[in-house]
Structure 1
């Protein structure tokens, strides 16, 4: 039996509506609502030693991981009820906007352009962009020595990559990879001359391969790490800000830093002031 054109059109519209509902049903995800249900999905990095690292046994370690767990605990969710999801730099906003995660703790710098897409709690840490080179390198000592077409690696979608484009594009050949671990491997095999991102991230990679790499120069930016969450989720942002303040005031923030980043030799900085914008 043939269906009339109007019936076929109606069925098509219904199918599109059902598909849109199925795909977009999580877009209004709220951290507080998820916490009330007893489970949280949190975006972290999987390849950053000292900050967010997936270990061979499937466990996760690092300062960002500890911050994520502390926040969850303050929201009433135990560690075993947290699902960690990988959040590469270029995908962090998308993961939040699509409702695939409740919040992101992944060396996520708070910027005005990002605040147009997602909200931030924090900051929970303040870092600065720096440079990682091979230990025998004597040419690169800081951003002022990035000249002569040196090959510099950073990650697509990251604040450090954008800083290079804005400030040093005439001096260097920027190569953008998906992860910093890929950049470090390129540095190891001589495919690039330096890697740039935040000093605390680079310190972790240097500590992971003693004697092979070194961090050079003074930090040349200020990066305020925030917890990313859905735009307009004010209730959850307030709850996360309160959790960060409690972590700092209780001493848990310093303990988490020493247990994760401290081994790299990176000095303990002053605790940040939470910005309740």
Structure 2
């Protein structure tokens, strides 16, 4: 059957219109869903820290590096997303629950310690990492080997830090506590001998010490003043996603990618990590 050029052009236009509509619908579904289930997978939005070297850091050229970034990328891959389909969103500590509850992110990987108070608002997968509160001192300092050695010495941490208060109130009450706006200020003070030690999670301390500009300057004392199980935060009640993330974390440990990521991001500080913890959330 012979078809006129006008009719053929009209048919093509209709077909293109329908295709565009279909694609538009699936893309919207994937985006609004975070892309973790159903529809064509467009992108997935993941919350990370932007300011923690070795864990979650946005570099001046706009790239993202760190152990949490590597974990997030691996998990996203297991959910069906390539690195260029991941959109990283800053998840500062105080906003993590809101980002999850509002659907601004599909999940959060941001040194997010699992505790009962947080579990009232969000669910967790994991844990995928066990950190401990520790001390960072100058590499040549042999005077601080246990927490009691901080008595009469200057201890630095960030304003409002529970780690610092833990030391001041119970472990070394005679420590001279100096609180700064960020860990970078504490590191400068430590290098200049204005303070004697810095305290927070050992993973965070190792990340700072592993920075190229800090290599060889600092060391971890190697204390275990608290247990911090880092989990991946997700929307409360999303058991399907929780199960998929737990499976991805198990695979990451089994194929060696987990230890490789730890060594790459935290190893330069001579960080001695705990073995990957048993996954308990959702079981």
| Both structures adopt the same fold (TM-score exceeding 0.5) | yes
Q: Secondary structure at the match of 2:281?
A: coil
Displacement of 1:98: 3.3
Select the residue among 129, 132, 139 that pairs with 2:136.
132
Q: Secondary structure of 2:229's match?
A: strand
Matched, 1:88 2:115: no
Secondary structure at 2:252 match in 1: helix
| Separation in structure 1 between the aligned mates of residue 216 and residue 172 of structure 2, nearest angstrom | 30
Point out where structure 2 has 5 or more consecutive residues left out of the alignment: 1-31
| 1:207 and 2:199 correspond | no
- Asked whether 1:67 is paired with 2:71, we answer yes
1:256 corresponds, among 250, 261, 270, to 261
Is contact 1:130-1:196 (8 Å) kept?
A: yes
- Deviations 1:98-141 (CA, angstroms, capped at 9, x unpaired): 33322111111111222122211101111211011234545543
Q: Does 1:196 align with 2:190?
A: no
Alignment of 1:149-168 (within 5 A): 150-154=154-158, 156=160, 160=163, 163-164=166-167, 167-168=170-171
Write the deviation string for residues 64-115 of structure 1: whole angstroms up to 9, x where unpaired: 1110001101111111111112222333223323333221111111112221
Q: Determine the C-alpha separation between the residues in 1 that align with 2:117 and 2:166.
A: 13
When Rg is computed on C-alpha atoms for both structures, the one with the higher figure is 2
Distance 2:93 2:195 in 1: 20
Matched, 1:231 2:236: yes
Matched, 1:49 2:53: yes
Matched, 1:40 2:44: yes
TM value normalised by structure 2? 0.75
Q: 1:167 to 1:236 in 2, by over 3 A?
A: farther
Match of 1:180 in 2: 183
Distance 1:189 1:246, change over 3 A: same
CA spacing shift, 1:264–1:212, aligned 2, 3 Å: closer
Structure 1 residue matching 2:112: 3-state secondary structure: coil
Aligned residue-pair number? 249
Q: Could you tell me how far apart the structure 2 residues matched to 1:160 and 1:231 are?
A: 28
User: Structure 1: how far apart are the matches of 2:106 and 2:176?
Assistant: 36
The aligned counterpart of 2:274 is 269
1:228 Cα deviation from its structure 2 partner: 1.1
Asked whether the equivalents of residues 155 and 199 of structure 2 are also in contact (C-alpha less than 8 Å), the reply is: no
Counterparts of 1:73 and 1:95 in 2: how far apart (Å)? 21
Q: 1:263 to 1:152 in 2, by over 3 A?
A: closer
Contact 1:96–1:230 under 8 Å retained in 2: yes
The DSSP-based 3-state class of the residue aligned with 1:32 is coil
* TM-align CA RMSD: 2.9
Offset at 1:224?
A: 1.0
Equivalent residue, structure 2, for 1:97: 101
Out of 184-193 and 90-99, give the one that drifted further.
184-193
Number of the residue aligned with 2:23: none
